[in-house]
Amino acid sequence: MRKHTVTLIAGDGSGPELVAAARTVLDTAAGSAGFHLDWDVRPAGQGALRSVGELLPASTLDSIRRNGVALKGPTTTPIGVGHRSVNITIRRELDLYACVRPVRVWPGAGAVDSGIDVVVVRENTEDVYSGLEYPADSDGAAVVSATLSEFGHADPGIAFSLKPITPGGSRRIVAFALDHARKNGRRKVEVGADVYRYPRTEGLFFEAARELGPEYPDIVTATVPVTVLCDSLVRDPADRDVLVLPNLYGDVISDVTAALVGGLGMAPGANIGDRTAVFEATHGSAPEFAGSNRLNPTALILSGCMLLDHLGEAPTAARIRAAVRSVLEEGRSVTFDLLPPDRAARAVTTTAYAEAVIERLRDIG
């Protein structure tokens, strides 16, 4: 039996029970397909901080580097105590420069348009999420302020959040989006940025699109002001195909597109680099639901499907997606977020939902 070793991070809040549900589905599907998922369980997040004194232990990063892939539950980063986001640290340490968030319609989830099938590709390591933020009166702010004051652009007492964007980073994320479109039979890639306000930084995305587009004659490559892109998502979301954006816009727009098809509970995601990839749902840890066994595990199950695609197990991923679709179509064994308020009492648990998906997997064969 062939084997894939995968780092597994349960995360915080609702993460452990969602990861457990997804793991059960993935293990069942793998076993019936003749391969084994060997889970290398590692800590990260607030639980890790309590148990080992670090939000992100070096051993967890080493595990991902060694195995090449990870499935990750949502983690919580303490606010205001000097800790850096676990997600941002993982992406930067492993150079996971491409965040891929497919958004499609699923039965019963409340999509605003039945034709939505979009992939948001977000640059993951630059822009304002690069961690270069300095509170007012900090040493870092003083250095930045002193430098800018030489050009007459700064006053004392200012806080700074820097927005580094490089030509190389812009070029590789646009190339990634074009490659993704070609590999997956997509027809169009739209590059969104605000070149009017940020011509020297976000303008690099448009330059990369103009340079690389001719190398992909089978793909329509377009540059779109991000404000126009947002308008088009409201007016005609089904006409969008692949969107590639700087880090901040990509984060916001991927959440907006998820809302168009029912919310973050239906939105899987992947953070991909040249050597490693981490697969995770796009929602947060929802600590208020920790231990409740009530939340929707679909996003994490579908993130597991992306993991299987990455591992070359696409037929098994397709079987899981078909099982999920069948459960959602029937609508009998779904979590409370997928039901109208007057039927919420009929909702099943996280565990029961996963069991229903497994039962459909057995029916599919």
Domain edges within the chain: 1-96+271-365, 112-126+165-260, 130-162
pLDDT score for 83: 61
Q: What pLDDT shows up at residue 81?
A: 54
pLDDT of res. 144: 84
Q: What is the pLDDT of residue 82?
A: 56
**pLDDT value at residue 132:** 85
Question: Which residues of the chain have a pLDDT value below 70?
Answer: 80-83, 154
pLDDT at residue 359, rounded to an integer: 96
pLDDT in the model for residue 80: 59
The confidence score (pLDDT) of residue 239 equals: 94
pTM confidence score:
0.93
CATH 1.10.8 fits 112-126+165-260, yes or no: no
Domain 1-96+271-365 has CATH 3.40.718.10: yes
Confidence (pLDDT) at 94: 97
pLDDT for 260 equals: 94
Locate tokens 């060694």: which residue? Answer: 66
For 166-209, write each residue's pLDDT tens digit: 999 999 999 999 999 999 999 999 999 999 999 999 999 999 99
Query: Which pLDDT value is given to residue 76?
Result: 86
